[in-house]
Amino acid sequence: MSTDQNTGALEEFSYDDSSVKLFLHATIIWGAVALLLGVVIALQLASWQFNFNLEWFTFGRLRPLHTNAAVFAFCGNAMFAGIYYSTQRLCKARLYNDFLSRLHFWGWQLIIVAAAISLPLGYSHGKEYAELEWPIDIGITIIWVVFAVNFFGTLYKRREKHIYVALWFYIATIVTVAVLHIVNSIEIPISLMKSYPVWAGAQDALIQWWYGHNAVAFFLTTPFLGLMYYFVPKAINRPVYSYRLSIIHFWSLVFIYIWAGPHHLLYTALPDWAQTLGMCFSVILWAPSWGGMINGLLTMRGAWDRVRSEPLLKFLATSITFYGMSTFEGPLMAIKSVNALAHYTDWVVGHVHSGTIGWNVMLVSGILYYIVPKIWKTELFSQKLANIHFWSTTIGLVLYILSMWTAGITQGLMWREINPSTGMLTYPNFVETVTKIIPMYWVRAFGGVLVLGGFILLLINLYKTIARAPKEQKEEILRAPALEKNSSKAKGHRGLEGLPAVFTVLTVLAVLVGSAIEILPSILSNKWIEKDARVTPYTPLELAGRDIYIREGCYVCHSQMIRTLPHEVLRYGPSSTAAEFVYDRPFQWGSKRTGPDIARVGGKYNHLWHYRHMMDPRVVTQGSIMPNYPWLFKKKADLGILSKKLAVLKSMGVPYSDEEIEKATELAKTQADVIIKELASDGVPTNMKNKQIIALIAYLQRLGTDIQQEIEEEE
């Protein structure tokens, strides 16, 4: 078709497939690593011994590593490989700049390695999927810009008039991820690997989940939909079912997705209107998602006989099906009354994995089986292995989802069960609801092993494929007519050349509407949160303890947000209010209760209880699955840096006096003395007083007390 719209002068060019190959290698290797980490942390929940009492190996630190590896290392590299492969072909142009392609590749791997080292060491923001500390955040920004320049440069150089729908999805990905990452990562450094966000409390929560949900939307969904729109037609050699539907799919998705973030915060201290808005848009989101799914599946119509025999197509068909299944489950779980049951439970974990394994891993596996033989100019080593991989992944995933549904719904029901004759909780002891679901954790871990095992087969299969590829891999010279630049139709063409720019602007607008309406009131209105005079900033020692809490990733198992539900008030005390968190940087509301909520744990136990609990939780709570934290009893707390921390917080509006800032270290020591004195009377040696455990106890004992004290006084 291009011939009739072009001058006809053929230009010679070639594709930069060597960069694509690098990203493909990275996808395969990081994919295996991410799944292996998943199996490890699944085992850690089934049996706490798998934490091995090793500081850098505990669940709280490995879980962020698993999510980062899965999202940014595996899906990231897969996305880049697929985007670079398809963009060159859709644009009939080589990637804009070879150096930028390499910089993009090596820069991204460096970021991943930095994450793989810093997360186990405990350098973390304590915000999910945004854990990486500020120097790495800056690295991500730079490399993302490199990617953007390289991508838009390729679009600019293109020899094809139309910008195919897949490219639209890529454009949306690039601009939106940039916006999300930058806004959510605005932070002020304390030291090389520590910073505090400028956002605090409920506002931080809102922005984090606006980011978090849209990381799912624009990192795990839109780029992969783009890949679907390219690779599914390619693999079955027929065009997409309805190009029109794909346009509707694109615009509705981009416009609606961005509003849905608050469904992570239903029944919390977030203002009601924001919760309801998030819920409504989440339910609406069902429509475009299914539009896309139907479009994908109908594209495969007429090729179903081949689906039975070709593993590649099995992966593609299954991935689209799981896209449909998880985009149905998501809106369902976003309905407030369903969410009341599902939130904080393993149901959410199951939902996430039906998306990430069912949609992302399946789709990427299919794409890998398509691209690798093609780009290395050979045949796939073994269809049979690919077939076993498919069944292993599918069975593993089904086990995963079923066990997490069972665990999540069981636990959710146990939490809310109230004995009608006494009006008390039927299961007041939290750990009862944990031990009940341990068998499901084993099933999940087994499912994970099957998924991992399948992926290892992919790895073997693809490296055998690559091994038998012809050694000489020369770049083919291709020819295509140039897009005419100075013809009589210049006006029309000018418009066309401007199209990617217009397009990008429209996409940004679509994304910004929802963002602005949800987030701006929290920034502009001082009435957004009702202040509470009883709430005061953390003392220096408590702050040190809080940073230990963040470092250990306690938030991956503990929430600090009592929802406005009767059974939660019965179990944990009065519902949390936004005013209680105004000094929380970052917020630590959490999203999963593997352990109980601890928003009001302060004063619930004495110091000695915490001391023994942190050393070995099973000493005080039979059947606990919380890890041991022996190193907190050996390492000294870093109190020297407290003045600096307080000063930075003050610069963001926390009312510390100059004296407090100056004497922060002494104040902390004085408070530690008080705690150790009580502990010493129970036989704890006084030389423990400068250890990290003391700071952590100070923090835990503070939680929720600001408001409790007043209530007691009133009584």
Partner 1 sequence: MKQEVLSYFQWIDLTNFALLLFVFLFTGMIFWVWRRESNKVYQEASMLPLQEENKL
Q: Which residues bind ligand HEC (CB under 6 A)?
A: 59-60, 430-431, 434, 549, 552, 554, 556-558, 594-596, 598, 601, 604, 617, 621, 624-627, 629, 696, 700
CA distance 59 to 120: 10
CB burial class (10 A; 0-12, 13-18, 19+) of residue 683?
exposed
Contact of residue 626 among ligand HEC, partner 1, none (CB under 5-8 Å per partner type):
ligand HEC
Site string for partner 1, 560-579 (x = CB under 8 A): ------------------x-
CA distance 359 to 365: 10
| CB neighbourhood size of 51 (10 A) | 24
Helix axis angle, 286-299 relative to 243-257, nearest 10°? 150
Does 290 bind partner 1 (CB under 8 A)? Our answer is: no
Piece in contact with partner 1 (CB under 8 A), picked from 381-389, 427-435, 525-533, 593-601: 525-533
19, 58, 86, 392: residue in contact with partner 1 (rule CB under 8 A): 86
Of residues 483 and 700, the one with the C-beta less far from ligand HEC: 700
107, 122, 233, 704: residue in contact with partner 1 (rule CB under 8 A): 233
Contact of residue 90 among partner 1, ligand HEC, none (CB under 5-8 Å per partner type):
partner 1
Query: Which one-letter amino acid corresponds to residue 230?
Result: Y
- Compute φ and ψ for 396, nearest 5 degrees: -60, -45
Piece in contact with partner 1 (CB under 8 A), picked from 212-220, 269-277, 552-560, 610-618: 269-277
Q: What is the largest CA-CA distance in the chain?
A: 93
CA distance 702 to 542: 7
Give the dihedral sign, CA 43/48/49/54: positive
Contact of residue 430 among ligand HEC, partner 1, none (CB under 5-8 Å per partner type):
ligand HEC
Does 252 bind partner 1 (CB under 8 A)? Our answer is: yes
Contact of residue 617 among ligand HEC, partner 1, none (CB under 5-8 Å per partner type):
ligand HEC
Site string for partner 1, 479-498 (x = CB under 8 A): xx------------------
**What ranges make up the beta strands (E) of 247-401?**
none
CA distance 641 to 532: 29
Site string for partner 1, 530-559 (x = CB under 8 A): x-----------------------------
Of residues 442 and 528, the one with the C-beta less far from partner 1: 528
CA distance 276 to 488: 54
Strands 424-425 and 418-419, bridge-based pairing: antiparallel
| CB neighbourhood size of 370 (10 A) | 21
Angle at 203 (CA atoms; ends 270, 517), nearest 5 degrees: 80
Which uninterrupted H or E stretch holds 191? strand 187-191
Of residues 119 and 171, the one with the C-beta less far from partner 1: 171
Of residues 604 and 650, the one with the C-beta less far from ligand HEC: 604
Q: How many helices (H) and strands (E) does the chain have?
A: 30, 6
Contact of residue 486 among partner 1, ligand HEC, none (CB under 5-8 Å per partner type):
none
CA distance 166 to 182: 25
Piece in contact with partner 1 (CB under 8 A), picked from 42-50, 232-240, 423-431, 624-632: 232-240
Piece in contact with partner 1 (CB under 8 A), picked from 159-167, 358-366, 442-450, 451-459: 159-167
Contact of residue 527 among partner 1, ligand HEC, none (CB under 5-8 Å per partner type):
partner 1
Contact of residue 595 among partner 1, ligand HEC, none (CB under 5-8 Å per partner type):
ligand HEC
- Compute φ and ψ for 600, nearest 5 degrees: -125, 35
Contact of residue 558 among ligand HEC, partner 1, none (CB under 5-8 Å per partner type):
ligand HEC
Does 291 bind partner 1 (CB under 8 A)? Our answer is: no
Does 521 bind partner 1 (CB under 8 A)? Our answer is: yes
Of residues 55 and 160, the one with the C-beta less far from partner 1: 160
Measured in residues, the chain has a length of 715
Q: Where are the alpha helices (DSSP H) in 427-488?
A: 430-435, 438-467
- Compute φ and ψ for 16, nearest 5 degrees: -85, 80
Of residues 68 and 184, the one with the C-beta less far from ligand HEC: 68
Does 527 bind partner 1 (CB under 8 A)? Our answer is: yes
Report helix, strand or coil for 691: strand
Within positions 337 to 396, which residues make up the interface with partner 1, using CB under 8 A? none
The DSSP call for residue 585 is S
CB of 52 to ligand HEC, least distance (A): 13
CA distance 227 to 586: 35
Strands 424-425 and 194-197, bridge-based pairing: unpaired
CA of residue 666 relative to chain centroid, distance = 39
Contact of residue 530 among partner 1, ligand HEC, none (CB under 5-8 Å per partner type):
partner 1
From 692, 673, 562, select the one nearest 614 (Cα to Cα). Answer: 692
Cβ neighbors of 377 (< 8 A, separation 6 or more) are: 469, 470, 473
Of residues 323 and 589, the one with the C-beta less far from ligand HEC: 589
Contact of residue 244 among ligand HEC, partner 1, none (CB under 5-8 Å per partner type):
partner 1
Contact of residue 308 among partner 1, ligand HEC, none (CB under 5-8 Å per partner type):
none
List contacts with partner 1 (CB under 8 A).
1, 10, 12, 86, 89-90, 92, 160, 162, 164-166, 229-230, 233-234, 237-240, 243-244, 247-248, 251-252, 271-273, 476-480, 521, 525, 527-530, 578
